[in-house]
Chain A
Amino acid sequence: MASPASANMNAVRETMDVLLEISRLLNTGLDMESLSICVRLCEQGINPEALSSVIKELRKASDSLKASENGTSQG
């Protein structure tokens, strides 16, 4: 068992915890999973503003989709 690697894992987990706290404080509405996806995307060089706009759009679209689904199912 490589202890540096595991120590790193542990540190990363700590980082993610902190990040989740920040996200909660800022009221971003991100959960742990989306947050980790976002972090990985950012690490791959995705522009944060672009990412944020995509997320916002996806939320909006998803909301409208759900609303329309609800509407159709109700209708």
Chain B
Amino acid sequence: MAHWSRFEKELELETRRLISHYTSIQDEEDQNFQMALKFAWSNFKFHRFLDANRHNVQRSINGIHEKLMVHSDLSKAESWLRLTEEFLSSPLPNTEGTKTEVHYSVLALLLNLSDSPSNTNYCERPRLKETEKEDKFDWAKYLMEGEDIDTGPFPDTPEWSEDESEEEDSQQPLSREDSGIQVDRTPQEDHEQNDKTIQVTWTVGEPDSRAWLEQHIVTSYWVPNSPRFPHSLHLHSNLYNVWDQHLYNTGPLYLPEEKSFVTETQVIRETLWLFSGVKKLFIFQLNDGKVTVRNDVVVTHLTNNCLHSVLEHIAAYGQAVTRLQKFIDEVTGHSAEPCPPGLNSSSSSSSKKSSDPPFRTYQAFVWALYKYFTSFKEELNTIEKDIIAKDETVTLSSVLERLSPHLAQITMLHRVFCTGVADVPPGTPNVLRASHLLNTLYKAIIEYDSVGEASEQSVSVALLFSLWVETVRPYLEIVDEWIVHGHLFDPAKEFIIQRNKDVPVNHRDFWYATYTLYSVSETVESEERLSDAASGSSGGEQASSSRQHTMVSFLKPVLKQIIMAGKSMQLLKNLDCKETEQPDDAERKSLYTLFLESVQTRLRHGEDSPTNTVTEQQATKKSLIKMQSIVARHLELDDIHDPLLAINFTRLYLEQNDFHEKFSGSNVILDRSSESVTCQTFELTLRSCLYPHIERRYIECCGNLMRTLKKDYMLLEYLQAMRNYFLLEAGDTMYDFYTAIFDKVLEKESWQQLAFLNVQLQEAVGQRHPEDSSRLSIFLETIDPARKKQPVNNLDGLTLSYKVPWPVDIVISSECQKIYNQVFLLLLQIKWAKYSLDTLRFSDLTVAAKRQEGGQSEESTAKEPINQQIHRMFLLRVKLMHFVNSLHNYIMTRVVSCHLHDDVHVIFDASIQVTVSLQVSFVKEAIMKVLNLVLIFSDRWQAGFGAWKIESIDKMESDFKNCHMFLVTILNKAVCRGSFPHCKSYSAVKYFYLVRMH
């Protein structure tokens, strides 16, 4: 054997391996081994068998298949055929080509070695099963090609791989397990093995992982004419084909179109992507912000129409999401480029809208939206993870079901967004945008709130409420800054009240013309500019009543307070008085914080109103909860929506769940789930949580201002002066003044000369109140001649003016002086009537009468005796005097007796009360008529007897009687009814009593 060929050497090697493998004799010099080797060699070389015949082998294969079929081993038969076929067409290690003689000889060897495969069922079965398992695995791999499978270990049958890797490592280092998939293990093994193995493992691993990748990569369905993914041929998963076939068969004109087949998982994934804001998708296409569904997308198990109806639905939601997302991007994208607020505010009107940075209300709104979307995307991610995990079946409908509460919320958000933001025409000023958005949110809450406590609605309301709370933040901060620091900081001009730049604080117009209130009309988006002159101190209600549906609704009830507090604060700051120092800013809680805290407290404790329930609840809490829940169920059954009850029930539940823990945290983020309680009574919440803080601040501010004005600016002294001169409280001084005028009038001289009047006034005032003489002046207003007809109107146009220094002129304004002047005029008229009656002398009449007697006796005898006429005159005079005196007394005592009140407004109100009461037109008219009568009467009296006819006495008497009766009836009624609010009843009674005595 010395000259063996290489072939023979290899043969020898293989034979030895075979023998050592079967006999497990490792020592080749062993006798048995040598014997076996000899035996093998002799058999190999000197046998009498024919060469393997492929026909015979094929026949045997068919025979075995037939045999298996006969034995009803269908699966085994099928595997057998397939495996042999596969083997014959596979390459062998050292043989080129397929279906060679070697293939058949190997098969022949196996056939020879086979131990009755059909009969040995008992030992076949487990192995057969393995074969089948292998089968199944193949199919699964086959089916799931194109699916994204989790990168787990390659699911080969473990027994084989262990065999391979451990036993055949030296021969075949091509283990599947080394394909680089189990990354963790490979380096350890490598470490133990030699360098060569490492290299081989690595080189062989690459194609394996590529093959793995090829198997697991998603079919690129987005490419046109992409290969169809393989799928089951089961009828249920081919509904589309069946339907398509049906259409093809029934309609001769039916033309099958080119379709892109996708799997349902792909559809779900694209849906999730769409919802999370991905713009470039295959199934859904985004054109100009509009999401459309591709027409040619089909899944195999649904008909085209069915799929599309679902997808259109999704696309609508997707569009809403995209729109909201776009808005968020727009607003957040802007903030990247910083812009100094002052710079912008000056040029906001001229510059383009797009270049304006979003103002704070939008930013806050976007922040709230962003927070919502974060939670929404978390949900989407969870779903996607579920799909990847494959622990449960995820279908499109189940995903939609799962997302349905979110989708409802998105629809709602989109609606709010459309009305509140998107529908606002471009170029609208920020103030309108901001207030419109807040109004929309507010209305949406009210609207959803009123729908009731349906489960989905309450979630929506809670979401809306949280949105609102976030969005309102800038507004509340502006208000806070204003009413606390007196500084209306609003660079983007978004607040409904804006400062007029050109009015300095220390100007007297400050109080009335500094701020402009913008309001949004709901019907027409027109801008109304309302100067807040009216809403300043007294007439705020009138102004607000004229604009019912305007402005930011939630601030409306406290708007006046805000304005007053803000202005007071600003004024106070400018008066720089030391006493009104604010507490340290760090300690102070902002209005927004206070509001949030109140809301939280309210959520914790519910309302205070149903106190009975609370106490009961403390006593027998458990039983009550049980009872309440039963009642609640009954209520639901009866379809009763009682908000108060619902609140109570919910509160009970809230207390059950550790509600305190949720809110005891330091941050003030509101938990949405719990807000349904609040939203149930949204307006109540505002009333109890927001308004009181503003109210408190208002009272504090205005109180401070008043105190400062009184203390440092002598407000009360000025008021006293006003009363002295306008209300004639300084009787002696004013007496000097007006008697001078009255004397002039009596003497029929012209008194309407400014110089004369001023001299009189200065003389009168200068004697007793020299400090005021420089402030007081008198004017004559021209009045229309139509009013001058009556003698009582003779004094009209006489106007006193008192110069009040700033800042007291805010309180004692020109409007205020006008009213004072009205009172002054009325008092003058009464005084004049009284004066003219008082100055009448009996002698005038009697002397004239005596003169008359001689001359015209015949005339007088015809009527009445002259004495009787004179007597009537006397009587009438007394009656008139009585009336005028009572009136004079009443009014002067009312005026004088109203002592100093602390509040300026009270003083003011008290002093004008009289006038206002007289403004009540009919009463005033009657009194004026009487006063007029008095003047005519005194005129005639002075003219002397005979200058007028006797009929005129009758007329005067009857006129007075009428007026008197009228007043008596009116006042009587008013007193009885108690509905004469301006006349304090006792005064009226007094008056009434005095008059009736007559």
Residues of A within 8 A of B (CB): 1, 3, 6-15, 17-34, 36-44, 46-59, 61-62, 65
**Interfacial chain A residues near B15, Cβ < 8 Å:** 41
What are 9 pairs between A and B in contact, CB < 8 Å? Answer: A6-B204, A15-B87, A15-B91, A21-B131, A22-B83, A28-B114, A31-B163, A47-B49, A62-B23
- B174→A27 contact, CB < 8 A: no
Assembly CA distance A44 to B11 (angstroms): 7
**A15 and B117 alpha carbons, distance in the complex (Å):** 21
Residue B84 CB within 8 A of the other chain: yes
B7 and A38 contact, CB distance less than 8 A: no
Extra 17 A-B pairs, beta carbons < 8 Å, given A22-B80, A27-B123, A50-B49:
A1-B206, A10-B211, A12-B90, A19-B110, A22-B87, A23-B113, A25-B79, A32-B160, A40-B94, A41-B14, A43-B92, A43-B95, A47-B105, A48-B112, A54-B40, A56-B113, A58-B22
Q: Is there contact, CB below 8 Å, between B114 and A27? A: yes
Looking at chain B's contact residues, the main secondary structure is helix
Q: Which residue on A lies nearest to B41, using beta carbons?
A: A54
User: In this complex, what residue of B is CB-closest to A34?
Assistant: B21
The answer to whether B750 has its CB under 8 Å from any CB of chain A is no
A39 surroundings in chain B (CB, below 8 A): 92-93, 106
Docked-complex contact B109 and A42, CB < 8 angstroms: yes
Q: From DSSP, what is the main secondary structure of chain A's interface residues? A: helix
**Chain B contact residues (Cβ within 8 angstroms of A): what range?**
35 or more
CA A24 to CA B698, docked complex, whole Å: 95
For the complex of A and B, list the 5 residue pairs with the smallest distance between their C-beta atoms, beginning with the closest: A26-B114, A52-B112, A15-B90, A48-B109, A49-B49
For residue B168, which residues in chain A have a CB less than 8 angstroms away from its CB?
Answer: 32-33, 36
Min C-beta distance of B38 to chain A, whole Å: 11
Q: Is the CB of A10 within 8 A of B22?
A: no
Min CB distance A51 to B, Å, is: 6
What residues on A are CB-neighbors of B80 within 8 Å? 22, 25
Decide if B902 is an interface residue (CB 8 Å cutoff): no
The digit string for B66-94, where 1 denotes a CB below 8 A from any CB of A, is 00000000001001100110110011111
B10 at interface, CB cutoff 8 A: yes
Known: A22-B87, A26-B117. A46 touches B44 (CB 8 A): yes
Residues of A near B115 (CB, < 8 A) are 26-29
Contacts of A26 in B (CB 8 A): 64, 110-111, 113-115, 117
Q: Which of B137-183 contact A (CB under 8 A)?
A: 160, 163-164, 167-168, 171-172, 174, 176
Closest chain B residue to A39, Cβ basis = B106
Q: Which residue of B21, B109, B123, B131 is within 8 Å of A51 (Cβ)?
A: B109
Answer whether residue B403 sits at the interface, using C-beta atoms and an 8 A cutoff: no
B176 neighbours in A (Cβ, 8 Å) = 13
Closest B residue by C-beta to A22: B83
Q: Which B residues lie within 8 Å of A47 (CB)?
A: 44, 47, 49, 51-52, 105
Inter-chain contact B106/A38, CB cutoff 8 Å: yes
| Contact between A54 and B43, CB atoms less than 8 A apart | yes
**Distance, CA A72 to CA B780, complexed state (A):** 152
Docked pose: A48 CA to B23 CA in angstroms: 20
- Shortest CB distance B567–A (Å): 86
A42 and B40: CB pair below 8 A? Answer: no
**Complex CA distance for A37 and B49, rounded to whole angstroms:** 20
Query: A60 — nearest CB in chain B belongs to which residue?
Result: B22
Complex contacts, A14 vs chain B, CB 8 Å: 90
> For residue A19, which residue of chain B has the nearest CB?
B87
Query: Contact: A1 with B128, CB < 8 Å?
Result: no
B290 within 8 A of A: no
Known: A32-B164, A42-B102, A52-B112. A37 touches B127 (CB 8 A): no
Asked if A40 contacts B113 (CB within 8 A), the reply is no
Docked Cα-Cα span, A46 to B46, in Å, equals 11
Q: Is there a chain A Cβ closer than 8 Å to B330's Cβ? A: no
CB distance from B77 to the nearest CB of A (A): 10
Check B92 against A37 for contact (C-beta < 8 Å).
no
In the complex, what's the smallest C-beta–C-beta distance from B45 to chain A, in angstroms?
Answer: 9
Which residues of B (11-39) have their CB < 8 Å from a CB of A? Answer: 11, 14-15, 17-19, 21-24, 32, 36, 39
- Report Cα–Cα, A26/B61, bound state, in Å: 11
Partner pick for A37 among B14, B39, B86, CB 8 A cutoff: B14
Which of B79, B83, B120: most chain A CB closer than 10 A? B83
Closest-CB distance, A63 to chain B (whole angstroms): 10
Set B14, B86, B171: member contacting A44, Cβ < 8 A:
B14
B94–A25 CB distance below 8 A: no
In the complex formed, the residue of A with least CB distance to B87 is A18
Instruction: Name the residue in B114, B160, B204 with the highest tally of chain A Cβ atoms < 10 Å from its Cβ.
Output: B114
CB-based nearest A residue for B130: A24
Interface pair A10/B47, CB less than 8 Å apart: no
B930 within 8 A of A: no
Q: Enumerate chain B residues within 8 angstroms of A10, measured Cβ to Cβ.
A: 174, 204, 207-208, 211
Q: Is the CB of A33 within 8 A of B167?
A: yes
Hey, which chain A residues are within 8 Å of B107, CB to CB? 22
B220 interfacial by beta-carbon distance below 8 Å: no
- Complex Cα distance, B845 from A38, in Å, reads 165
Contact of B91 with A38 in the complex, beta carbons under 8 Å: no
User: Residue of B at shortest CB range from A26?
Assistant: B114
Q: How far is the CB of A24 from chain B (nearest CB, A)?
A: 5
Known pairs A27-B123, A52-B113; A44 contacts B87 (CB<8 A): no
Which residue on chain B has the smallest CB distance to residue A44? B11
CB-based nearest A residue for B93: A12
Structural contact, A25 and B83, CB atoms closer than 8 A: yes
In the bound complex, CA of A23 to CA of B482 (Å): 93
- Whether B90 lies near A11 (C-beta < 8 A) is yes
The reply to whether the CB of B386 lies closer than 8 angstroms to some CB of chain A is no
Query: Using Cβ atoms and an 8 Å threshold, which residues of chain A touch B163?
Result: 31-32
Q: Is B124 an interface residue (CB 8 A)?
A: yes
- Cα distance A7–B204 when bound, in Å? 9
Q: Is the CB of A1 within 8 A of B203?
A: yes
A75 CB → nearest B CB, Å? 19
> Complex: how many Å from CA A2 to CA B102?
26
B124 touches A27 (CB 8 A): yes
Contact partners of A25 in chain B: CB under 8 A: 76, 79-80, 83, 117, 124, 127-128, 131
Task: Kindly name the residue among A19, A32, A48, A61 whose own CB sees the greatest number of chain B CB atoms within 10 A.
Answer: A48
* Cβ of B116 under 8 Å from chain A: yes
Q: Is A53 a contact partner of B43 (Cβ separation < 8 A)?
A: yes
